[in-house]
Amino acid sequence: MLPIDPTKKISFTRHICDGDLVVVYERHDNMKAIKVCQGSVLQNRFGVFKHSDWIGKPFGSKVFSNKNGFVYLLAPTPELWTLVLSHRTQILYIADISFVIMYLEIVPGCMVLESGTGSGSLTTSLARAVAPTGHVYTFDFHEQRAASAREDFEKTGLSSLVTVGVRDIQGEGFPDEFSGLADSVFLDLPQPWLAIPSAGKMLKPDGVLCSFSPCIEQVQRACDSLRSNFTDIKTFEILLRTYEVREVKMDCSQGDEAKPGSILPRKRPQRAIEKGNEQDKLSSQTVMARPCSEAKGHTGYLTFARLKCLS
């Protein structure tokens, strides 16, 4: 997934090979990660796709099924992975993820601790941020979940950047061997206040901690426990509003049939363009945008704090 190996980097000359991980894009809300395997097929509502047809094509290609249905084959990125990974837990999405990476001040070479691993959505982005020389140590108390996460990192080629441990961080804290070595710590735990003292021990002075909690009561208790050793404590909520864009025909005619000022949405704007404007002389085409009517109203609160500098 990451260009750690320069030969795997996407380019005009890089083609899909046997064994590559590709993201099969049907629609923006329907994608799937697939390991390309000579002799294998993908079957979906568009028909049957032979993997052998994909090999040798560049990433970003449109490929066809036996019924002439099509999908696009994309190179995986942490953002796409977040959309296709198998949900073993509730996961973090791009708005929270990008903000966490920025606010934790993670740059190449950093050492980052995370708990819990969950489905590995954030972990994938953490790995990208610390690459090529840093490392992410992530812990989950659920043995099976940790194993699945490990398999995923193997699949996405991040194993050299991520180590998954099985450990109850709320109960036992982070392992002592990381004491004073972490640049940043991320907690997504039901009772973060139990892990905060340990997180404080792990961080370098001035290192940043982030705790993600869906409920304000968790935030309240986390902040209480942060106040003794941390400073610059801030809590945020970040959401995304998305917009839909369409070309609409604004009717300017004074005729009887058309009501003045009415907006006639066009489902297939390209047709209108191809036809030309000749018969639409009395109307104008305008591209308009409006917020999508559905959105995530809440994901979680992000609380950040900086370890006090005492030496």
Partner 1 sequence: MSQNNSQSDSIQNPRVTWEGCSVLLDINDGDRLVFARLSAGSTLKIGNKTYSLQPLIGCPFGSLFQVENGDQGHCLARFVPSIEGNNIQEKGDFESQDEIKDNRALVDNNKAQSLTGEEINAMRSQGATGDEIVEALIANSATFEKKTLFSQEKYRLKKQKKYAPKVLLRRPFARSICEAYFKKYPARIGFLRVDALSLLLSMANVSANSDVLVVDMVGGLLTGAVAERLGGTGYVCSTYLGSTPYSIDIVRIFNLSNEICKRIVRSPLTDLSLSQNGTSEQIHQQGDEINQQGDEINMECLSNNQMSSSVGMEEISPTENDTSDVISETTVSPVNKTGKSTKAGNKAPKQAIDLWKENGFSSLIIAAPELDLWSLLKDLLPLLANSAPFAIYHQYLQPLATCMHNLQLGKMAIGLQISEPWLREYQVLPSRTHPCMQMSAFGGYILSGIKICSSS
Compute the least distance from the CB of residue 256 to partner 1, in Å. Answer: 31
> Which of 45, 243 has the CB closer to partner 1?
243
Which residue in the set 7, 13, 262, 293 belongs to the binding site for partner 1 (CB under 8 A)?
Answer: 13
Toward partner 1, which CB reaches closer, 78 or 118? 78
Omega cis (within 30) before 108: no
Q: Which of 87, 243, 260, 278 binds partner 1 (CB under 8 A)?
A: 243
- What's 49's DSSP letter? E
Q: How far is the CB of 285 from partner 1 (least distance, A)?
A: 10
Among residues 219, 182, 226, 188, the alpha carbon closest in space to that of 201 is found at 182
Which residue in this structure is represented by tokens 């959309």? 83
Answer for which of 41, 55, 95, 166 binds partner 1 (CB under 8 A) is 95
Binders of partner 1 among residues 44 to 63 (CB under 8 A) are 58-62
SS3 at position 280: helix
Q: Which of 209, 227, 213 is nearest to 304 (CA)?
A: 209
The dihedral sign for the CA sequence 284, 290, 293, 296 = positive
CB of 184 to partner 1, least distance (A): 11
Q: Which is nearer to partner 1, 125 or 170 (CB)?
A: 125
Contact positions with partner 1 (CB under 8 A) in 202-241: 204-206, 216, 219-220, 223-224, 227-229, 231, 233-241
CB of 253 to partner 1, least distance (A): 24
308 sits near partner 1 (criterion: CB under 8 A)? yes
Nearest residue to 121 via CA among 142, 101, 135, 141:
101
Neighbours of 105 (CB within 10 A): 15
Residues 127-166, mask of contacts with partner 1 (x by CB under 8 A): -xx-xxx---------------------------------
Q: Which two tokens stand for residue 306?
A: 């900086």
Main-chain dihedrals φ then ψ at residue 155, nearest 5 degrees: -65, -40
Residues 6+ apart with CB under 8 A from 163: 135, 136, 137, 138
Which one among 40, 89, 98, 283 touches partner 1, defined by CB under 8 A?
98
Instruction: For residues 261 and 263, give the distance between their C-alpha atoms in angstroms, rounded to a whole number.
Output: 6
What is the size of the binding site for partner 1 (CB under 8 A)? 85
Give whichever of 148 and 229 is closer to partner 1, judged by the CB atom: 229
33: its two tokens: 């990660």
Site for partner 1 in 63-92 (CB under 8 A): 72-75, 77-79
